[in-house]
């Protein structure tokens, strides 16, 4: 069994989860489920980024301590991920004592191995609290950060500890050129261009920040500063393995970091340089997905309200939102979503195509064969099925989740066309028993395939379908891919199941 350590970015604990956060967690969960289907020993890490000025400011505005704020927000995030069926193995919070100890150990390790990598310097620059980063002139327009146009930049003049990132320029160039380290290609080109434009050393401590991990060494003035929040957050992937306590080496490095395209630089320049400086193994692969845009706009406080995550889950259920986001928004680039598209896809792809196929096949098996799947030779539908499984596997391995979903739903369409063309009701009426057996057996095998292929996207419905086929209460994950390749349902006693994606009697009103 190969180990597959998968992580997502950890979310800032300064507000409620929104669709952008959900998109990343759902996509990573589909990948975790896919790797489990392939038989990997998956460790799936998610969590919260709880320190820094942004969190401290919100706590102050709400009149609570930062710890009270992050306790509350972390609980809300976790409850949301549970509702969405996110199968994380570990939920890390950067305020946990072992994480704080791990960050300090990592910093000390850099001091020991490469003492020149940290140095003191007075610095003056524009700080964006939204990004928790100093911004270069090229990243500022009209006095505001390009990403957080609703926030004012803060001028900071202070003496800090610096990390000598520039020393790693060649190393980072080689690393990011390595095929497969950073994908998709567009993001890799961006990082390579950034490296060519010249990296700068980075300030890694903050003078005025009370809500952070104390930097393990004081400045020459005797002052102790807090660790810059990204220097505290990035190591979560490492500290979650137990670092520096014994055993971490068996769990590190990560096979895959999933992050948004706005934080690629942090993951493909700063993080690998920190690890290299500390003499630690590097993550194998970074995937930078695009943005989920509501009506073409970035999720903001206002669009977060317009496409409220709780309302979106309540509208058609968790499976429907998972499917919709992963099918509608390409995993390798930006994509837009609206309530109307959500309703359309729910009705067309889930209720009419998938749900209807499942219920009509199980109903015909019950009506014509007492629920027992006949044993009959392969048909052209099985060949379409084998082809879909193949295309699906290639897409999922390449992390093109939208294509994986499309391959599965192509098979749904092929099966619905097959039903109409074979007209099993006519075969039954005319006494074509062999023909009817062939039709029903091919359809049952296709449903078995579809239960496996759709499980990373719509796990609840896929499991109900699996059960309806008489295959058991849960999909036997590590053995299921074999069943997608070679379905084995002949002789099983199937049963009818309630509609997987019921259509509302009266469609819910569409929010603005
Ligand atoms: N705390 C940092 C990450 C630290 S990782 C060591 C952070 N947090 S965040 O809450 O702002 O974003 C968390 C993740 O959600 C990021 O990967 C970000 O790109 C992603 N998304 C936030 N909004 C998004 C969309 N609208 N669409 C898709 N993902 C986006 O950054």
- Whose Cα sits closest to atom 26 in ligand 1? 20
Half-sphere exposure of residue 373: CA atoms within 13 angstroms, side-chain side = 27
Tokens 């007492």 belong to: 370
Q: Is 371 helix (H, G, I), strand (E, B) or coil?
A: coil
Asked if 267 is an active-site residue, the reply is no
| Cα diameter, the chain | 95
**Closest by Cα among 277, 404, 385 to 330:** 404
Ligand 1 geometric centre to CA of 168 (Å): 25
For domain 3-307, the question of CATH label 3.40.50.1580 is answered with: no
Contact (CB, 8 A) for 8 and 87: no
Q: Which of residues 296 and 26 earns the better pLDDT score?
A: 26
Q: What is the pLDDT of residues 239-250, one digit of tens each?
A: 999 999 999 999
Mark whether 390 is an active-site residue.
Answer: no
> Any alpha helices (H) in 114-234, and if so which ranges?
169-177, 185-197, 229-233
* Fold category of 339-485 in CATH: Isoleucyl-tRNA Synthetase; Domain 1 (1.10.730)
Using CB distances shorter than 6 Å, the residues near ligand 1 are 9-12, 20-21, 23-24, 49, 233-234, 236, 259-260, 262-263, 291-292, 298-299
Contact in structure between 327 and 349 (CB atoms under 8 Å):
yes
The residues spanned by each domain of the chain are 3-307, 339-485
Task: Give the separation between CA 459 and CA 398, rounded to whole angstroms.
Answer: 21
> pLDDT (tens digit, 9 = 90+) per residue, 457-493?
999 999 999 999 999 999 999 999 999 999 999 999 9
* 15-57 pLDDT per residue, tens: 999 999 999 999 999 999 999 999 999 999 999 999 999 999 9
pTM for the full predicted model: 0.96
Nearest ligand 1 atom to alpha carbon 233? 6
Q: Render pLDDT for 211-270 as a digit per residue (tens, 0 to 9).
A: 999 999 999 999 999 999 999 999 999 999 999 999 999 999 999 999 999 999 999 999
- The sign of the torsion formed by the CA atoms of 438, 439, 442, 443 equals negative
Q: Which residue has the tokens 């359309």?
A: 344
Which residue has the least CA distance to atom 13 on ligand 1? 11
Tens-place pLDDT, residues 49-70: 999 999 999 999 999 999 999 9
142 DSSP assignment: T
- Give the confidence band of 150 by pLDDT, cuts at 50, 70, 90: confident
d(CA 107, CA 19): 34
Instruction: Work out whether the CA dihedral 9, 10, 14, 16 comes out positive or negative.
Output: positive
**Is residue 145 flagged as an active site residue?**
yes
268 carries an active-site annotation: no
The structure tokens listed for 337 are 């979503």
Q: What three-state secondary structure class fits 8? A: strand
Extract the tokens encoding 350.
């889930």
Distances from the Cα of 192 to the Cαs of 131, 187, 254, in angstroms? 21, 9, 22
């Amino acid at each position: 069994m190969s180990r597959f350590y998968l992580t997502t970015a950890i979310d800032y604990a300064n507000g409620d989860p929104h669709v952008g956060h959900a998109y990343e967690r759902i996509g990573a969960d589909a990948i975790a489920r896919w790797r489990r289907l392939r038989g990997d020993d998956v460790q799936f890490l998610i969590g919260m980024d709880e320190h820094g000025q942004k969190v401290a400011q919100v706590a102050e505005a709400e009149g609570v301590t930062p710890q009270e704020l992050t306790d509350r927000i972390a609980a809300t995030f976790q409850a949301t991920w549970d509702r969405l069926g996110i199968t994380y193995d570990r939920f890390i919070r950067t305020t946990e004592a072992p994480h704080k100890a791990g960050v300090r150990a990592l910093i000390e390790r850099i001091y020991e191995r490469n003492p020149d990598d940290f140095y003191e310097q007075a610095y003056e620059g524009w700080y964006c609290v939204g990004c928790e980063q100093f911004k270069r002139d090229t990243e500022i327009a009209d006095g505001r950060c390009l990403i957080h146009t609703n926030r004012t930049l803060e001028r900071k003049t202070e003496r800090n500890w610096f990390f000598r990132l520039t020393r790693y320029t060649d190393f980072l160039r080689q690393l990011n050129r390595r095929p497969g380290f950073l994908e998709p290609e567009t993001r890799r080109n961006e990082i390579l261009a950034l490296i060519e434009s010249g990296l700068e050393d980075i300030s890694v401590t903050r003078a005025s920040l009370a809500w952070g991990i104390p930097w393990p060494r004081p400045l020459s003035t005797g002052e102790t500063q807090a660790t810059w929040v990204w220097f505290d957050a990035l190591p979560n992937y490492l500290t979650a393995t137990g670092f520096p306590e014994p055993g971490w080496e068996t769990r590190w490095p990560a096979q895959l970091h999933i992050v948004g395209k706005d934080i690629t630089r942090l993951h493909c320049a700063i993080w690998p340089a920190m690890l290299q400086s500390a003499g630690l193994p590097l993550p194998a692969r970074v995937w930078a997905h695009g943005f989920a845009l509501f009506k073409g706009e970035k999720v903001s406080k206002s669009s977060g309200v317009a496409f409220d995550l709780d309302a979106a889950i309540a509208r058609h259920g968790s499976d429907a939102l998972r499917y919709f986001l992963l099918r509608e928004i390409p995993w390798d680039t930006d994509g837009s979503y609206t309530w109307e598209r959500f309703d359309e896809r729910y009705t067309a792809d889930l209720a009419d195509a998938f749900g209807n196929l499942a219920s009509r096949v199980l109903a015909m098996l019950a009506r014509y064969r007492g629920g027992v799947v006949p044993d009959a030779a392969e048909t052209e539908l099985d060949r379409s099925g084998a082809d879909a499984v193949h295309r699906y596997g290639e897409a999922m391995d390449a992390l093109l989740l939208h294509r994986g979903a499309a391959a599965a739903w192509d098979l749904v369409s092929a099966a619905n066309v097959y039903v109409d063309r074979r007209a099993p009701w006519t075969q039954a009426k005319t006494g074509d028993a062999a023909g009817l057996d062939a039709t029903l057996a091919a359809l049952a095998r296709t449903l078995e395939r579809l239960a496996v292929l759709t499980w990373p996207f719509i796990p609840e419905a896929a499991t109900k379908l699996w059960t309806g086929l008489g295959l058991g209460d849960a999909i036997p994950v590590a053995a299921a891919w074999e069943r997608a390749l070679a379905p084995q349902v002949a002789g099983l006693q199937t049963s009818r199941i309630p509609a997987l994606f019921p259509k509302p009697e009266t469609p819910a009103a569409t929010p603005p």
